Structure 1
Amino acid sequence: MKKRLSILIALALAFTMVSSPAKAQDKVHLLWGMWGSPDEIATHQKAADAYMAKNPNVEIELWSQPWGDYFTKMTALFTAGDGTVIPDVFFMSPIQDYAAAAKIMDLTPFIEKSNFDLKDYWPGALESTSYQGKVYGLPRDSAVEVLYYDKDDFDAAKLSYPTADWTWDDLRKAAEALTIKDANGRITRYGLAAEGSKYFNFVGGNGGAILDDMFKPTQCKLSTPESIAGVEYFAGLMNDNLAWRDANLGQAGGDQAVFLSDQASMFIQNASRIPALNTAGINYDIAPVPKAPSGGRQAGSTNGAAWVMSALTQKQDAAWEFMQFLQSPDGGQAVYFSAGDSFPPTKSGANSDVFMAKDRKPENKQAFLIDAESAPPNGNGWFPEWNELSSTIISPVLTSIWAGEAKPADVLPGLCENVDKYLADHGYKK
């Protein structure tokens, strides 16, 4: 009897030793990476909490970095090559260099296996997350840019609010009326705040372009008359002290900071600023970015950042399930639509009652829909060498223009010669 009992106890202990680790392993830990402001990170945490509430066996840990540090730190993680500390799912834009370097997973097999519907995405949004015909990322948003404006400032200056019919002339006149100087001639408020990267709204809106093809480029187009005119207009606002210079804007904390402190009456940006403005109680609204005076259009852009999966993750199935949740109308997208900090990457989301809610600013959310159906993914190159080309050749020249140190017509032709040589040297031939 004692021998039999001993055997049973031994078996029970053995079962416990085997089964306990198995239960511990049932808990899946996913590391989720992104950049963003505190308001944006708080929204991501809400999405993670919503997923964990529905999936108690999954733990989502956020890995967040400021925009300025994110890409450097992500590069360092992949250089070290330790898949256990690289986020399983993370934010990336553009994705093409990561796809070409096999740092992220081709999602096509997962999409096909789960019958994930891609038809609802804005065409440009899906294009921007693809490489060589394969989908490597799920668009988290569509970075359509609009003109934010302070209604109180406009009222005080007795100006009509911006509309979809506004041209560059209207924008300049408003900036002139809204710019304020103190008794010593020091500017205390600029009419406009816009990062240097927003120049494409004026280049593209005037029929110009950065490259002939943002996916398979062969030629620089910044030296065309249309492109030069767009750059000249944008630089002119800075040179005439109607808009913050790019470098000074960065030092002042960015467009959101100067708008909230009434150091700018207007700024150009995507939907990411909405939560902070709503929290601050600013009396504001939005309008489409103004068009060129003669035959122009809103440049439009449906590219945005994407959620991607690390090629080094050991939790592919769990990561894919989480990515699907982030894209579902009643899951992650509902969280983001309610926060209003991103323009939906899907047509149904953009027109949903949740995103278009009238009880939450801005009132004129229709401004985001301008050109969204047909707009290509502009402003960025969607090929592996874009980041290097942009940072080493294009950006230094544009930076000198925004600083007032160079004239567009003088330097853009030479810039294009260097871009064309770079493209040819890297196999992008005419």
Structure 2
Amino acid sequence: MRRGATRPAVLAALTALSLAVAGCGGGDEQPANGPVEITLWHGQPGVAAKSLEKLVAEYNKGNHGVKVRAESGGVTPDGMLPKITAALTSDAYPDIAYLYGSWAPNVARNPKTADLTEFVKSPAVGWQDFWASEREAVTIDGKVIGFPAVVDNMVVLYNKKMFAKAGVKEPTPDWTWEDFRTAAKKTTDVKKGAFGTTWPITGGEEAVWGLWPLVWQNGGDILSPDHKKAVFNSAAGQKALGLLRDMAVVDKSIYLDSTPAEKSQKLFESDRIGMFLSGPWVLPDLQAAKLDYGVVRLPGTAGNHETVSGPDNWVVFKHDERRVKAAADFLTWLTSAERQLVWMTDTGSLPIRESIGKLPGYKDYLAKYPGIEVISENLANAKRVRPPTTKYPRVSSFVAEAVAQALLGRSDVKTALDEAVRKSEAALAVPGS
């Protein structure tokens, strides 16, 4: 999955960034006359980098009064936070950087992070056109720190060959978790090494984020509204993890993956996993593998098909007010529906604005990426994001441990979740960490 476990280097960067309190730096000197010059670190590889640089070149040819210099920053998106953390200790930081949404609470604490709250109220921005989960991910304690960059969500991909062989009807959009469990049982043949579905037990975020939709659908939540209490051991949380435990321990229909998620994906591609919970980033791989697959939204609870989303952000940093305004003006242009359709068609990313689906070229985009239409429409079911707090990585690690203990049959659900809550609340009680 794209949203993997938080690496040790990143955890160290989170701590360092939260402690950085240096004042705003002047950065590069700006010419007295001529366009305002700003720098963007994007961290994108391959096709994504080429597409972005093409769009930046188009912008620079226009009469915007702004000159954008796009650079990788010398890292991939995974390495951007440590890079930014180091840069913010001096004046050698960019005006804009691509950062995962889960890092926003830590970045927002730095005084060099810009506040765009008033700027995004402009009708030219079209703030309400962005999906709610994206707006939430880039807003920390009421402060908007940038613009949405990329959005995804979790769906179920299913192996049509395995479904047909087991005599299982393909999922319909209104299916339930009981339907999911039944399909998993029927497509499981342990002797042949085939399982109905898979779940990571790696101890990282990839083991956790698929649990949250089940919790939300059942009326539960992760933390209290003030982020001071862990509440995922509620009846909703126990029901959510209980379903997975029953599938793993009783039905034995879940392949428990203790390796990176890529192994499960390879098993899915080789007709040994019937259903794979993932997102749009795997579609090019499935096409390359020539797999006959289908895509359907997550099973629902009482008609609620809520999913989980992992938005990423273009975060703006302060040098001076002219450069902040220039960065915001550029991002307004870059995130417009027309420019985003170019980016999406080049890269297979999902629409970050609802209005993109109304553009003439949208049908060509859908045709290029089979299954992407279902995932795009599923953005409407991404109503919440994981808690925007610096403590979430630690909470996630405790929940991941609980998931592993329950699915391996080493603990009952209540005991596992209660222990995770105890550890989480100890972490939440530590000020400033």
TM bin (shorter chain): 0.7 to 0.9
Percentage of identical aligned residues? 21
Question: Shift in Å at residue 147 of structure 1?
Answer: 0.9
Aligned match of 1:400? 405
Question: Shift in Å at residue 231 of structure 1?
Answer: 0.9
Q: Deviations over 1:176-217 (max 9, x none)?
A: 232344xxx362x3322344121112222222221233xx22
Ranges in structure 1 where 5+ consecutive residues have no aligned partner:
1-20
Aligned match of 2:163? 154
Question: Shift in Å at residue 44 of structure 1?
Answer: 3.9
| Distance (Å, rounded) in 2 between the aligned partners of 1:255 and 1:352 | 36
Aligned match of 1:300? 307
SS of the counterpart of 2:356?
A: helix
Q: How do residues 68-83 of structure 1 correspond to structure 2 at under 5 angstroms? A: 69-70=78-79, 73-74=82-83, 77-78=86-87, 81-83=89-91
SS of the counterpart of 1:161?
A: coil
Q: 2:173 aligns with which of 164, 178, 200?
A: 164
Q: How do residues 47-58 of structure 1 correspond to structure 2 at under 5 angstroms? A: 47-55=52-60, 58=68
Letter in 2 for 1:247: S
Deviates more, 1:219-228 or 1:98-107: 98-107
Q: 1:336 aligns with which of 343, 355, 375?
A: 343
Letter in 1 for 2:168: L
Question: Shift in Å at residue 287 of structure 1?
Answer: 0.7
User: Quick one: structure 1 residues 122 and 48, their matched pair in 2 at CA, closer, same or farther if it must change by over 3 Å?
Assistant: same
SS of the counterpart of 2:344?
A: helix
Deviates more, 1:99-108 or 1:57-66: 57-66
Instruction: Give the conservation status (yes or no) of the 8 Å contact 2:213–2:306.
Output: yes
User: Quick one: structure 1 residues 403 and 326, their matched pair in 2 at CA, closer, same or farther if it must change by over 3 Å?
Assistant: farther
Aligned match of 1:412? 417
| Distance (Å, rounded) in 2 between the aligned partners of 1:371 and 1:42 | 24
Q: 1:217 aligns with which of 227, 245, 248?
A: 227
Letter in 2 for 1:46: S
SS of the counterpart of 1:190?
A: coil
Instruction: Give the conservation status (yes or no) of the 8 Å contact 1:52–1:59.
Output: no
Q: How do residues 131-142 of structure 1 correspond to structure 2 at under 5 angstroms? A: 131-142=140-151
Aligned match of 2:7? none
Letter in 2 for 1:225: A
Q: How do residues 26-41 of structure 1 correspond to structure 2 at under 5 angstroms? A: 30-34=39-43, 41=46
User: Quick one: structure 1 residues 254 and 408, their matched pair in 2 at CA, closer, same or farther if it must change by over 3 Å?
Assistant: same
Aligned match of 2:367? 359
Aligned match of 2:185? 176
Tell me, yes or no, if structure 1 residue 236 matches structure 2 residue 256: no
Please say which structure displays the higher CA radius of gyration. 1
Question: Shift in Å at residue 92 of structure 1?
Answer: 2.3
Instruction: Give the conservation status (yes or no) of the 8 Å contact 1:343–1:368.
Output: yes
Measured on the aligned residues, the alpha-carbon RMSD in Å equals 3.5
Normalised to the residue count of structure 1, the TM-score between the two structures is 0.76
User: Quick one: structure 1 residues 353 and 96, their matched pair in 2 at CA, closer, same or farther if it must change by over 3 Å?
Assistant: farther
Tell me, yes or no, if structure 1 residue 390 matches structure 2 residue 380: no
User: Quick one: structure 1 residues 306 and 98, their matched pair in 2 at CA, closer, same or farther if it must change by over 3 Å?
Assistant: same
SS of the counterpart of 2:129?
A: coil
Question: Shift in Å at residue 227 of structure 1?
Answer: 1.0
SS of the counterpart of 1:330?
A: helix
| Distance (Å, rounded) in 2 between the aligned partners of 1:377 and 1:44 | 29
| Distance (Å, rounded) in 2 between the aligned partners of 1:246 and 1:225 | 26
Q: Deviations over 1:343-383 (max 9, x none)?
A: 3232212455544555234347245435717x5323x1113
Instruction: Give the conservation status (yes or no) of the 8 Å contact 2:306–2:383.
Output: no
Q: 1:120 aligns with which of 105, 123, 129?
A: 129
User: Quick one: structure 1 residues 178 and 326, their matched pair in 2 at CA, closer, same or farther if it must change by over 3 Å?
Assistant: farther
Letter in 2 for 1:245: L
Aligned match of 1:18? none
Q: 2:50 aligns with which of 45, 50, 56?
A: 45
Q: 2:334 aligns with which of 326, 340, 364?
A: 326
| Distance (Å, rounded) in 2 between the aligned partners of 1:71 and 1:229 | 37
Instruction: Give the conservation status (yes or no) of the 8 Å contact 1:285–1:361.
Output: no
Question: Shift in Å at residue 289 of structure 1?
Answer: 0.6
User: Quick one: structure 1 residues 304 and 282, their matched pair in 2 at CA, closer, same or farther if it must change by over 3 Å?
Assistant: same
Aligned match of 1:245? 256
| Distance (Å, rounded) in 1 between the aligned partners of 2:97 and 2:84 | 15
Question: Shift in Å at residue 109 of structure 1?
Answer: 4.8
Aligned match of 1:102? 111
User: Quick one: structure 1 residues 371 and 322, their matched pair in 2 at CA, closer, same or farther if it must change by over 3 Å?
Assistant: closer
| Distance (Å, rounded) in 2 between the aligned partners of 1:160 and 1:246 | 26
User: Quick one: structure 1 residues 402 and 64, their matched pair in 2 at CA, closer, same or farther if it must change by over 3 Å?
Assistant: farther
Letter in 2 for 1:211: L
User: Quick one: structure 1 residues 377 and 74, their matched pair in 2 at CA, closer, same or farther if it must change by over 3 Å?
Assistant: farther
| Distance (Å, rounded) in 2 between the aligned partners of 1:140 and 1:98 | 16
Question: Shift in Å at residue 102 of structure 1?
Answer: 3.1
Ranges in structure 2 where 5+ consecutive residues have no aligned partner:
1-29, 62-66, 200-205
SS of the counterpart of 1:108?
A: coil
Aligned match of 1:91? 99
Instruction: Give the conservation status (yes or no) of the 8 Å contact 1:52–1:60.
Output: no
| Distance (Å, rounded) in 1 between the aligned partners of 2:35 and 2:304 | 54
Question: Shift in Å at residue 118 of structure 1?
Answer: 0.6
Aligned match of 1:9? none
| Distance (Å, rounded) in 1 between the aligned partners of 2:107 and 2:207 | 25
